[in-house]
A and B are shown apart, each in its own frame.
Chain A
Amino acid sequence: MSEYRQIIIDHYKNPRNMGELIGADKTIDEANSSCGDLIKIFVKLTNGKITDMKWQGVGCAISTAGASMLSEKVTGMNKIDLEKFGETGVVEMLGGEINVGRMKCATLAYRGLLKVFD
């Protein structure tokens, strides 16, 4: 069960930074059209850097853990940092092994977050 490492289960059961961020500078909706996963991302920005992120959504263990763990990583990142982090960074963050069929789940929050800088 390599996909369901303890850290993923932990973030799935106790998602971090879940909720609405009052006074957010940007709000992004991202969806996974094949499975119906939805996420709403709120961020505060200062000089092009993310200073806070919260999120709401419904999804599977992988997408929930992906959003939860990402919300702890991205503070202080600007557009370039986030692009550098990449989908590879997401996979590493989740423990280094994600089946191709679950990549869309894993990167849901990340794809939404990239849109913050559009």
Chain B
Amino acid sequence: MIDINKIRADFPILSRKIHGHDLVYFDSGATSQKPKTVIESMNRYYREINANIHRGVYEMSVESTELVDEARKDVAGFIGALGEEIIFTRNTTESINLVAYSWGEENIKAGDAIVITKLEHHSNMIPWQELCRRKGAELRVIDVNEKGELENEKEAEKINNAEFEVVVGGWRNLLDNKVKMVALTGQSNTLGTVPLLGEIVPMIKRKSPQSLILLDGAQMVPHMKVSVVKLGIDFLAFSGHKMLGPTGVGVLWGKKEILNKMKPFLFGGDMIGEVKLGGSTWADIPSKFEAGTPDIAGIVGLGEAIKYLMSVGMDNIHEYENNLLKYALEKMKTLKNEGLILLYGTEDINRGAAIAFNVKGIHAHDTAQILNNFGIAVRSGQHCAAPLVKSYGVEAMVRATFYLYNTKEEIDYFVDKIREVPKVFA
């Protein structure tokens, strides 16, 4: 169970007023708010500890190094991994680029195929698009049906609406022995769809046993218990700022034996073994992939965020959000049945706490701005998933996302204010 009053009191920003109204923050899918403990841990780091990590023998540098090591262990424990398999990056995007460059450059060649899905955020789409372009490899895209689910049986179809041809279809028809990488989301940032990994991963292993699997966990890791071993994947990418941590720190988890074979992505300080003027060797993982001074305070903050999430309990958070989602969907369905809004994706699929909609006849930006005037923060636009949004025949959607600090009362208020939107244009 979640003590919502206690949780809300931990987030200072929630007492902010917007245009004279209490803030209703429904944009945690873009970035989450931060509890006091996270903010204070970073504050304390800069006030009392601040020193660069590694190779400092003085007290503060040792303390700094220990804090980073401890956070790495916290992250590893959080997803059921080994500490050395945790690489700190800036964000999910950088984590995926690291794999696309380091692993992709060495392992993808003309004739190979990479599979992504139409649910992907641009961060898990463009790096693979570009890798395919560089290598002359084939990009295959799992399509999405009207309900917001990934297609299984759909026939493969070649589509060429831009610079190069892609193959679009269902899982059954896009997996074969040419596939070297399947990169998919753990939860759609736009529709909230949670792909059925328990079915998808075994199918990939059966039909494309040579392929690696990268999971974009940006919208998944903050909201549910994740075990990389149980999932049976090879890489997991996620961002600290969407899970109560600060901006500036992301994580790439990779299987040790794969990371060990990969070449560095960025070169420079801290990632080296032995340096000679004519050439150098590389440090072991994870340092091999962490060139330069990292965001130490950010890493400290992320460690603290994980402590907070674990103290509440990921299963509790997941259950709480699920209840919020069901409650909100029920209310939104009433608005839909009244002909007031359009909902994208349906309620009967496996999904997380995100709702995409439009008020009929009103552009998403206008809806979002009118809601803002009531103190409600929602996102509007293409949600970095342009092909997905366009497949619903619209140019933009409004999106509300919930997290552990949101309430049913906020949802009531939100639904009430959606009714006000058309009145502005009446």
Contact = CB atoms under 8 A, between A and B. Distances in A.
Given A4-B370, A34-B382, A62 B424 contact: no
B379 to A, nearest CB: 10
Contacts of B386: 36
A62 B364 CA distance: 12
Contacts of A3: 369
Given A58-B395, A60-B365, A61-B366, 15 more contacts: A4-B424, A4-B425, A12-B425, A34-B381, A35-B381, A35-B395, A35-B396, A36-B382, A59-B363, A60-B364, A60-B366, A61-B362, A61-B363, A99-B369, A102-B365
B293 interface: no
A62 B425 CA distance: 12
Give the interface residue-count category, chain B. 10 to 19
Interface string A26-62: 0000000111111000000000000000000011111
Interface of A: 1, 3-4, 9, 12-13, 33-38, 58-62, 99, 101-102, 105
A105 B394 CA distance: 17
13 contacts: A1-B370, A1-B424, A34-B381, A35-B380, A35-B395, A36-B381, A36-B390, A36-B394, A36-B396, A59-B363, A60-B364, A62-B366, A99-B369
Interface in B81-97: none
A99 B19 CA distance: 13
A99 B18 CA distance: 14
B363 A60 contact: yes
Contacts of A59: 363
Looking at A1, A13, A60, A62, the one whose CB has the most chain B CB atoms below 10 A away is A60
Contacts of B380: 35
A38 B390 CA distance: 13
Nearest to B425: A9
B425 A35 contact: no
B389 interface: yes
A3 B363 CA distance: 14
Which 7 residue pairs across A and B have the least CB separation, nearest first? A36-B395, A60-B363, A60-B365, A35-B381, A61-B366, A60-B366, A35-B396
Interface in B368-389: 369-370, 373, 380-382, 386, 389
A13 B366 CA distance: 13
A38 B370 CA distance: 22
A9 B395 CA distance: 21
Interface in B341-371: 362-366, 369-370
Contacts of A9: 424-425
B356 to A, nearest CB: 14
